[in-house]
Amino acid sequence: MAAITYELIRKDETTGARAGVIHTPHGSFPTPIFMPVGTQATVKGVSPDELRELGAGIILSNTYHLFLRPGMELVREAGGLHRFMHWDGAILTDSGGFQVFSLGDLRKITEEGATFRSHIDGSKKFLSPEVSMEVQKALGSDIVMAFDECIPYPADHTYAKASTERTQRWLVRCRDAMADAEGQGLFGIVQGGMYRDLRAWHAAEVTALELPGYAIGGLSVGEPHELMEEILSYTVELLPANKPRYLMGVGTPDYLLTGVRHGIDMFDCVFPTRVARNGMAMTWTGRLVMKNAVHTHDHTVIEEGCGCYTCRNGYTRAYIRHLVRAEEIFGLRLLTLHNLYFLQEFMRRMRAAIIAGTFSAFYQDFMNHYHKK
Amino acid sequence: MAAITYELIRKDETTGARAGVIHTPHGSFPTPIFMPVGTQATVKGVSPDELRELGAGIILSNTYHLFLRPGMELVREAGGLHRFMHWDGAILTDSGGFQVFSLGDLRKITEEGATFRSHIDGSKKFLSPEVSMEVQKALGSDIVMAFDECIPYPADHTYAKASTERTQRWLVRCRDAMADAEGQGLFGIVQGGMYRDLRAWHAAEVTALELPGYAIGGLSVGEPHELMEEILSYTVELLPANKPRYLMGVGTPDYLLTGVRHGIDMFDCVFPTRVARNGMAMTWTGRLVMKNAVHTHDHTVIEEGCGCYTCRNGYTRAYIRHLVRAEEIFGLRLLTLHNLYFLQEFMRRMRAAIIAGTFSAFYQDFMNHYHKK
């Protein structure tokens, strides 16, 4: 049996939204789901117990960072990433491709792979489909992402086509490198930039490999929301219904709603943890900047009725504002716990609405009350 | 009945060490005890739940910092410091004197009090015995410390005498200002620098006020250990046996042992939390610098048999080293929890030895195995 399987619970009748369960060697989790990001073998400031308690069933960790530090040998020696970081839920690892391509002048790409300078000590490193798979095998993640290029926006058709074709050749090499892996499932990533013909060609090529899951890459990279939604809706229909679908790098409520509405099951983003460290709280009506003077004398919680550690225990806006201004790390922790819980709860309510057949009403209701800032 | 009372459980027969219980409006705690420091209404990186879980019965918070930010009005409005920071155990607040005197050129001292510039926004501030008491009343701490000068080392006799006499005049003003306070106990602080005659004079003056507890200030300020021990042993004998005795600013195992051996009940220090943030772990055999290469492949816990969150859950030296090198705040949290637990456990074992009549053996055994660095 495949390491990763998807079970459909209910599909919405008027949109593409669907509720399901994904089964992995480290447990099953309900979908749609948001994956907190633990870049360096830790979700910044949060313990594995706390992640479990707020309802996370799967987290994402970054191959690029762990490849450079502490290195794959050490994590392998520790018994894999789950044991190293004490997380017994599921783990998805990215391939390192995104970070390496982001290095700009510091990297050189060939058909073989990418040579680059470590951002930590300047040493020369090499990452390729085979190396990325080797690292992800050492990490022992449940879901392994293919090594690809996330095409920047804007990119002309010639560039996007050449990049997508190389990504596909790399995917075949990833598949071959993972042939002997047990207990891990390789997800292919559909690229193609903002071009329908390239998306169509690549979706056909990727799905022909019959992998345990598929991601849509290269969206939410700076393009207008309408264009994102157009390419997303076009691409997702090209993916099989019996496999998980993952939209990479998306974590704001409006984009999550859009993704779910079109049939996406999995999401990840540093957004909730990063904005927490910048003193921002996510709520059902929009974001709160905790440093603002309006919270000075506010002895109520971030959001009434919220079940997160922070709100449930009565930590007030006034106290959190004080901690943020005083640069106390407990403030970042309280906000991180709140934001991660908020997104888990947001996904749970979307899922409940799909199952109850009320997803469209949920969507409208949320959009009516949520203020983007 | 007084807000703060001391109950003697057992006195060691060969040393001055004693085991007791201190009762406060926010619970009782065993002595000798170490108080974690929560400068800005939070023990850096640690939740109140975690403090309770590792065995802290009382914490210290700083009047100077809270006076400047968020200010006493806000804490009063929040219902006091206990409610503001969600700590339902006992709280001791210092007077702010130590921090103000440390400002050097930025402060001006008169008989009335101290005028100084805020380190946060440069605004002009004034702190005096009366203002310090007003702030500590607003904070609602269980134990209120008198406003004094901690005499620097070295200081000549003329300076030390004048300073000690002024501290005594300030103490009387503190006592008068606290006359109407309920549920709070004022501790007097014996100063006198390194001069026996001044210590004797001041101890007599301070204890004549019959306060609920007494502190010994102005030690561990840079003087040799032998001189500290000499002045400590001389001074502590001048304090009544039926009141708590508090040695300020001491938190390393060897100094704690010395203090307890001479009959001290209470200690505080930023040491365990500060060194944790510098990547250092405290153990029964000395300190570990977690960044050191020796820990790279060490997949064992900081200290075998340790009951702290970090060790009990199996977080390894290799993982903590990775987190410290990657500057991940979860590493600081794991080390802070370990160090605070270590000191609580250290005090518990000293207390158990006193009660069992084996304190001298405990002392020798610890000194034989502990390596100062």
From the list A42, A84, A297, which residue is nearest B328 (CB)? A42
Residue B167 CB-density burial (10 A; 0-12 exposed, 13-18 middle, 19+ buried) = buried
To which CATH superfamily is domain B5-268 assigned? Answer: Queuine tRNA-ribosyltransferase-like (3.20.20.105)
Residues A12, A142, A265, A268: which is the catalytic one?
A: A268
Question: Please, which residues 111-150 of chain A have a Cβ atom closer than 8 Å to chain B?
Answer: none
Contact A373, A286 (CB under 8 A): yes
Contact B329, B44 (CB under 8 A): no
Q: Which of B276, B235, B232 is nearest to B250 (CA)?
A: B232
CB contact under 8 A, B313 and A86: yes
pLDDT of residue A371: 82
Q: Report angle CA A126, A149, A112 to the nearest 5 degrees.
A: 40
What is the percent of chain B with per-residue pLDDT over 70, rounded to a whole number?
99
For B80, name the nearest residue in chain A, comparing CA atoms only.
A319
Alpha carbon separation from B52 to B88, B89, B307, B337 (Å, rounded): 9, 8, 14, 11
Q: Which residues in chain A are contacts of B42 at CB distance < 8 A? A: 323, 328, 330-331
Residues B12, B94, B142, B265: which is the catalytic one?
A: B94
Quote the pTM value.
0.97
At B371, is the pLDDT very low, low, confident or very high (cuts 50, 70, 90)?
A: confident
What does the pLDDT average to over B35-41? 98
At B320, is the pLDDT very low, low, confident or very high (cuts 50, 70, 90)?
A: very high
pLDDT of residue A372: 73
Structure tokens at A159: 């560039």
Residue A193: which residues within 8 A CB-CB, separation 6 or more? A151, A153, A155, A157, A160, A163, A164, A218
Q: Which residues in chain A are contacts of B322 at CB distance < 8 A? A: 40-41, 69-70, 74, 84
pLDDT of residue A104: 87
Residues A12, A49, A94, A180: which is the catalytic one?
A: A94
A265 is catalytic: no
Residue B60 has pLDDT above 90, yes or no: yes
3-state secondary structure A266-278: EEECCHHHHHHHC
pLDDT of residue B1: 60
pLDDT of residue A354: 98
CB contact under 8 A, B326 and A296: no
Report the residue of B119, B299, B321, B322 to disrupt the A interface, i.e. the one with the largest count of A CBs within 10 Å: B322
Annotated binding site of A for Zn(2+): 306, 308, 311, 338
Q: Which of B275, B273, B282, B221 is nearest to B248 (CA)?
A: B221
At B359, is the pLDDT very low, low, confident or very high (cuts 50, 70, 90)?
A: very high
Question: Please, which residues 313-332 of chain A have a Cβ atom closer than 8 Å to chain B?
Answer: 313-316, 318-319, 321-323, 325-326, 328-332
Report d(CA B274, CA B30) in Å as an integer: 25
Quick one: CA torsion of A7, A9, A14, A17, rounded to 10 degrees? -50
Chain B: give the shortest CA distance to residue A319, in Å.
6
DSSP strand pairing (A114-117 vs A107-109): antiparallel
Whole-angstrom distance between the N-terminal and C-terminal Cα of chain B?
46
Q: Which residues in chain A are contacts of B321 at CB distance < 8 A? A: 70
Domain residue extents for chain B: 5-268, 270-372
Chain B: give the shortest CA distance to residue A76, in Å.
11
Residue B373 has pLDDT above 90, yes or no: no
CB contact under 8 A, A77 and B313: no
CB contact under 8 A, B319 and A78: yes
DSSP sequence for B48-79: HHHHHHTT--EEEE-HHHHHHTT-HHHHHHTT
Q: Which of B75, B24, B33, B74 is nearest to B55 (CA)?
A: B33
Question: Please, which residues 54-73 of chain A have a Cβ atom closer than 8 Å to chain B?
Answer: 65, 69-70
Tell whether A86 lies on the interface with B, counting CB pairs under 8 A. Answer: yes
Report the SS3 class of residue B176.
helix
Q: Which residues in chain A are contacts of B74 at CB distance < 8 A? A: 296-297, 318, 322
For A42, name the nearest residue in chain B, comparing CA atoms only.
B330
Report d(CA B76, CA A28) in Å as an integer: 48
B268 is catalytic: yes
pLDDT tens digits for range B134-166: 999 999 999 999 999 999 999 999 999 999 999
- Work out the mean pLDDT of chain B and round it to a whole number: 97
Report the SS3 class of residue A168.
helix
pLDDT of residue B104: 87
Structure tokens at B171: 């103490």
Question: Please, which residues 181-220 of chain A have a Cβ atom closer than 8 Å to chain B?
Answer: none
pLDDT of residue A373: 61
Q: What is the pLDDT along chain A (373 residues), one digit of tens a residue?
A: 589 999 999 999 999 999 999 999 999 999 999 999 999 999 999 999 999 999 999 999 999 999 999 999 999 999 999 999 999 999 999 999 999 999 988 899 999 999 999 989 999 999 999 999 999 999 999 999 999 999 999 999 999 999 999 999 999 999 999 999 999 999 999 999 999 999 999 999 999 999 999 999 999 999 999 999 999 999 999 999 999 999 999 999 999 999 999 999 999 999 999 999 999 999 999 999 999 999 999 999 999 999 999 999 999 999 999 999 999 999 999 999 999 999 999 999 999 999 999 999 999 999 999 987 6
Question: Please, which residues 6-45 of chain A have a Cβ atom closer than 8 Å to chain B?
Answer: 40-45
- C-alpha A267, offset from chain centre: 4
